[in-house]
Amino acid sequence: MALKEATMLEADMIKPRRRLSPRQRRYRFALGFAAVVGGIVGGWMVADQPAGRDGLEMAFSGSLSAGFAVGASLFWVLGLAISMTIYHRAIDDHEERAWLWAGLVGWYAFIVPAPVWWVLHRADLAPPADTMLLFAFSMIVNAIVWLWLKFR
């Protein structure tokens, strides 16, 4: 009897799941679509590499085939254009503010070190500037600011 009562109480505590609104569905689709595009490009890049190449070499210094470079570039641009259009149609004012500030701080994280690195390289005080490293740094800063503003 006690087990049956406990089960009934637990069932009363479980609330039915609300249906997602059209805006929430668009939002989740946009983020999921962007993740799929990134996953496909990343998986394709791995498959395009010769056997035996480690991940860091592949990501930062390995050569790429022309077919992959053209295909991945087109896929990336079209995929992100579609994803970002859907995303911006789905976000609310709070997320838009977080997105704008994160983008601005991410931009600062690129425009401050890039010319400094370039000037130091021109004076033979640093290796050549690595665009992808600067891009990754700015995207990490962007993500941290966005997460902080969105979930604080």
Contact assessment for residue 88 and residue 34, using Cβ atoms and an 8 Å cutoff? no
**Can you give the three-state secondary structure of 26-44, one letter per residue?**
HHHHHHHHHHHHHHHHHHH
Q: What tens-digit pLDDT sequence spans the chain (152 residues)?
A: 556 665 655 656 666 778 888 888 998 999 899 999 999 988 888 888 776 666 666 666 667 788 888 999 999 899 989 999 999 999 889 999 999 999 999 999 999 999 999 999 999 999 999 998 999 999 999 999 999 999 98
CA dihedral 41, 71, 87, 34 (to 10 degrees): -10
3-class DSSP assignment, residue 64 = coil
What are the tokens at 17? 């799941």
pLDDT of residue 23: 86
Residue 54 per-residue DSSP state: -
pLDDT of residue 6: 57
